[in-house]
A = this chain, B = another copy of it.
Amino acid sequence: MSGTGKTKQDSATLLLLAAVGLALITILTVWKLKQLKYRLINETGGAMFFGMLLGLTVRCMLFGWGEQMDDMETVCICGGPNNTPHSVTVNNTSNFHRIRHVGKVSQRCPSVSTPHTETFDPEVLFNLFLPPIIFHGAYTLNQKRFILNLGSVFTFAFLGTIINCIIVGACVYGFTRLMVLLGRAADGDFFLTDCLLFGAMVSATDPVAVLGLLSELRVDLDLHTLLFGESVLNDAGAIVLTHAITTYSQMGAEPNFDPPAFLLSVGYFLGVLAGSFLLGFTFTVTTALLTKFTRLRENPLLETSVFFLLSWSSFLAAKASGLSGIVAVLFCGLSQARYTIHNLSSEGRCRTKQLFEVLNFLGEIFIFSYMGYVLLMFPHHVFKALFITGAFLSIFISRACSIYPLSFLLNLGRTTKIPRTFQHFMMFAGFRGAVAFSLVRRDTSTEVGRTIFSTTLLLVGFTTWVLGTAADPMLRRLNIRVGVEADDDTEDLSVEVATGGPDTTRGLWHRLDYKFLKPVLTHCGPPLADSLPQWCGLFARLFSSPRVQEDDEQLCETEPDDSAFDLEKTEDRLGSVGGDSGSAHQEDLLEGDLGLGTAPAPAPTREA
């Protein structure tokens, strides 16, 4: 056994052990604190705190390591060949050391991953745990609420992110000019595109942090949907904006506005969004057809494994094809919960939900621990007081400038207004987290990159601890309902369904969802032969399994026992009792509005 292999293996084991230990300490401490009624600390904050403690300890143990490494970097410089060598051999006393090429760097500074690359690539963390976190959020989301609020969610997520990005960029750029005036920075240090890039990267609120808080406090379901929907979708926005700005700044280095490059960026933005959506949906279609037309449900273990692997693949496939993995897995989760779940056995439903729940819980803790660890362990932080001040100020200003005006505009159209208290809380709940971190950590080779990296970590820490801790008192102060159970809402909606309203637009969504997608992908809904035109006969025969006709009603009534799916149950039961038109009526009522107005929607739970 070679010594190196052994050492490497040992350090990998130690690292894993440290991570598991941190997670255990976090879980137990936070749980104990909550039992003692200190409800202010949540898991994400706790995880980050203990991560920082570990980072500090490791740093103290390796004191001076950073400097040492800098010295070593220039030890052996020799003229290489024209092609990049994969490995070089350095003659060191009696042994030969094999050395591996890890990539080009600008000579200024080693990258963030330097202290860990030997044993750990943080990308693994994000590839492993981000998909289950987002998927779990989408999979357990109250579907009706989400569809009711879809328009508003999209507005906040995309318009909001763009507003945030521009305001943060402009504000921080102002502060960097101030730095130049005060002699704290050279003139060419920060370009406008750098500041906009920072704006794009920190403009998104974080679904991990937001979900952690929301599921903890169980706030009003509309507020939950708005905040979670926004945080998931604006990640996509931020990722795409970041890429678009990078592309833009690479194409035209001059700071002047360049319309073709801008249009290209916008096109790219829309393309990535649509592509990711389609990809996520493709994986749902695959899973749904596989579970519908095979007898996989007879073996819940296989069913769960296939469901889990296919859902996870949506993230990986999107990333591999240059799309947004987060958006893909989000839509995959939403559509799996709408269609595939009907094809699963009841044990399969329970298993998938519990599996994602555990992965989501542990993933949150691991990711935040790691952020805390890096905050104190990274040896090349650049803290610039003015830049940090600008960043902190700008994220509040920009959030105010996006939430209040957009809410005002949306309320003009919405039947269910967004109450003023909700707006205050949304303004307040601008947590930054894992996604911002994963964006900024990619480039820490330049001083600008490191300034952005360090400032973002501070922002994450501040929003997680200060805002996260203040959220509970804030909700009480604003008099917003907390401790809402998902099924509190079921009755409200069924009553609304029963009392009904005028039959409005028989929209595209209804036709697509109820008449086409449900019968094709599940055993529920009207027979395909009825809902499709005559000439689609072959298609209808192909996708109607024999079971559809036989046990349609029975299957649709044995719905998941989980409260999140109670709405579905109500809907399906009504659908199978009242037939096509009754169900259509109800679907339109619920889904015609999309939170943008026009259709009569349920009365607001509370007005400001």
Residues of A at under 8 Å CB distance from B?
A: 1-10, 12-14, 16-17, 20-21, 23-24, 27-28, 31, 35, 69, 72-82, 84-93, 95-107, 110-111, 117-119, 121, 123-124, 127, 242, 246, 290, 295-296, 299, 301-302, 304-306, 308-310, 312-313, 316-317, 319-320, 351, 354-355, 357-358, 361-362, 442-443, 445
Contact = CB atoms under 8 A, between A and B. Distances in A.
A452 to B, nearest CB: 12
Interface centre among A1, A7, A74, A107 (most CB of B within 10 A): A1
Nearest to A113: B5
Given A10-B320, A301-B357, A246 B72 contact: no
B104 A310 contact: no
A12 B100 contact: no
B96 A4 contact: no
B103 A78 contact: no
Given A4-B104, A35-B295, A309-B23, A76 B89 contact: yes
B306 A24 contact: yes
B105 A101 contact: no
A372 to B, nearest CB: 18
Contacts of A90: 76-80, 85, 88, 101
A360 to B, nearest CB: 9
B85 A8 contact: no
Given A8-B103, A27-B306, A320-B13, A92 B98 contact: no
8 contacts: A5-B442, A21-B313, A27-B302, A76-B85, A76-B89, A84-B97, A98-B103, A305-B362
Contacts of A312: 20
Given A104-B3, A442-B2, A79 B91 contact: yes
Given A75-B88, A88-B99, A6 B442 contact: yes
A137 B319 CA distance: 35
A301 B358 contact: yes
A327 to B, nearest CB: 15
Contacts of A102: 4, 98-100, 118
Contacts of A119: 121
Contacts of A308: 358
Given A72-B88, A354-B355, 17 more contacts: A1-B442, A6-B442, A12-B127, A17-B316, A31-B302, A69-B87, A76-B88, A80-B92, A84-B92, A85-B90, A87-B99, A98-B110, A99-B102, A100-B100, A301-B357, A305-B358, A354-B354
A565 B9 CA distance: 37
Nearest to A308: B358
Nearest to A105: B98
Nearest to A4: B103
Contacts of A27: 302, 305-306, 309
A82 B93 contact: yes
What 9 A-B pairs come out closest when comparing CB atoms?
A4-B103, A76-B88, A80-B92, A17-B316, A80-B90, A78-B78, A98-B105, A13-B319, A1-B442
A85 to B, nearest CB: 5
A8 B123 contact: yes
Nearest to A96: B107
A436 to B, nearest CB: 14
A500 to B, nearest CB: 39
Given A27-B302, A76-B88, A355-B358, A316 B100 contact: no
Contacts of A313: 17, 20-21, 24
A73 B92 contact: no
A24 B314 CA distance: 13
A506 to B, nearest CB: 39
A88 B77 contact: yes
A75 B80 contact: yes
Contacts of A23: 305, 309
Contacts of A105: 2, 4, 96-98
B98 A73 contact: yes
A76 B85 CA distance: 8
A367 to B, nearest CB: 15
Contacts of A7: 103
